[in-house]
Amino acid sequence: MAGAWWSWIAAAVIAVALGAFPYTYYYSRDDVAAFPSIQQILLAGIGVGYGGSNNKTEPLRPCFPALFGFGSSMADTGNYATIYPSRTRASGQSYFAKPSNRFSDGRLLIDFWAQALNVPLLSPYLRVIGADFARGVNFACTGSTARQDSIWGSYPLSVQLDQFKAFKQASLDAGLQGSLPSKEAFEKGLYIIAIGGNDLIQEYFHKNLTVEAAQQYVPEVSQAIVRVVEELYKEGARTILVEDVYPQGCTPNILSQAAILNENLDAAGCSKPYNDNVKLHNKLLKEAILNLNTKLKDPSIIFVDTYSVRYEIIANASLYGFTEPIKACCGAGERYNFDMKSFCGWSKLIDGKVVSANSCSNPKQHVNWDGIHFTDEFNYQTMKQILTEAYFHPNFPISQICDIKDLHVANFSFWVG
């Protein structure tokens, strides 16, 4: 057993050394879709050397045999960090007590989904060493967009779909019981998609469009997401949760970079025009998801209205224990503690001075973590409200399907690091 263990470690190391693993700054869809060739090494390694007692999954059978994640940084549990290891240095302190390869001080919504449903936290698809894919995998990657033009050296949702198809086929071909998802897991698993925010952000800050000019591209985003949902359905997925986009007009990223007049701020301190674009996207996405349920046979495709939950918490922050509903916890800057030139965890020379973007001492009192993403506590409060079932469209009685676990109970069967 020890020999087999070292053999697959060696194979993975050799593959990386020979350039098989994608450490280039930007790559095409074909390049990224080829990543599963590295997965072949992982599949062989798990089956031979990593199925021993040190990596056993929990004995309790969850209501969904597996969880599959797709999306952007709001759901990324380590794919981006695998490509760019130095870019998520300040993270994880509040829950994991060490860097967690997430853009948060703790858990993301995808982590809370896993814990609520008694599934180990998802291993990122691109991670080789230490990954556990028995109950699912996460394809979400920071910078990903629903459309084809991703940002920050990432890749679009369509590539995540390609990765899923390759992973599914490789898993079924390998037939490694207990180490990889089974055919039943793919058919009866829960699929979660959380993407779309970057599509809007890139129109503002990469293409330099006004919020009004960007509105014409909003319908393309929901259309791209629906196409992937339909493809997952063709692959056998039947229970798919599609999360909407968060209130971007309430984030320091938007509020500090965009020229926003005071009259365009609402009572919560959020930008109304930017939130209006998000609400338009969410409306179109919800309509499309509800329409899909009438077109397809026996689907359970659920639109999750996270926007309403999140805005409610931000607008009434003190009721949920927050003292800072807008200002970032980790960052550098004046009004919103955010400067894209010195992002959370960075130290840079700006105008002759070294500026360090460090974490605050009380992240639990902040809604926003780094100017873009959210804190563990905010994600926890959001998930609590989602699980009341008031924000599912159509109705999704998850409490009748599953024995929902206490979200504050630590789940020690997870991958992180």
Residue 254 to residue 319: CA distance in whole angstroms = 25
By CB atoms closer than 10 A (0-12, 13-18, 19+), residue 215 is: middle
Determine phi and psi for 93, rounding to 5 degrees. -65, -35
DSSP 78: S
Annotated catalytic residue within 105, 111, 179, 373:
373
In angstroms, what CA-CA distances link 377 with 77, 93, 109, 372? 17, 12, 11, 15
| 206 part of the active site | no
Cα torsion angle, 80, 86, 88, 94, sign: positive
Helix (H, G, I), strand (E, B) or coil at 368: strand
Candidates 73, 91, 104, 179; catalytic one: 73
Token look-up 């700054």 returns 25
User: Which of 128, 96, 91 has its CA nearest to residue 15?
Assistant: 128
**DSSP letter assigned to residue 191:** E
Contact 104/375 with Cβ under 8 angstroms? yes
Token readout for 91 is 């993270």
- Name the phi and psi angles at 158, rounded to 5: -60, -35
Contact 280, 288 (CB under 8 A): no
> Residue type for 38, please?
I
Is 182 tagged catalytic?
no
H or E segment at 190? Answer: strand 190-194
Q: Minimal CA–CA distance to 114: which of 134, 87, 97? A: 134
Q: How many CB atoms lie within 10 A of CB 391?
A: 20
The separation between CA 69 and the C-alpha centre of its own chain, rounded to angstroms, equals 7
Helix (H) or strand (E) holding 241: strand 239-243
* Catalytic-residue membership of 158: no
Q: Which residues contact 322 (CB under 8 A, 6 or more apart)?
A: 313, 365, 366, 367, 377, 378
Give the active site residue among 105, 244, 370, 376.
370
Kindly calculate the radius of gyration of the chain based on its CA atoms and give it in whole angstroms.
Answer: 21
Task: Give kind and range of the element (H or E) at residue 226.
Answer: helix 218-234
- Using alpha carbons only, give the angle 315, 318, 319 rounded to the nearest 5 degrees: 90
Residues with catalytic annotation?
73, 370, 373
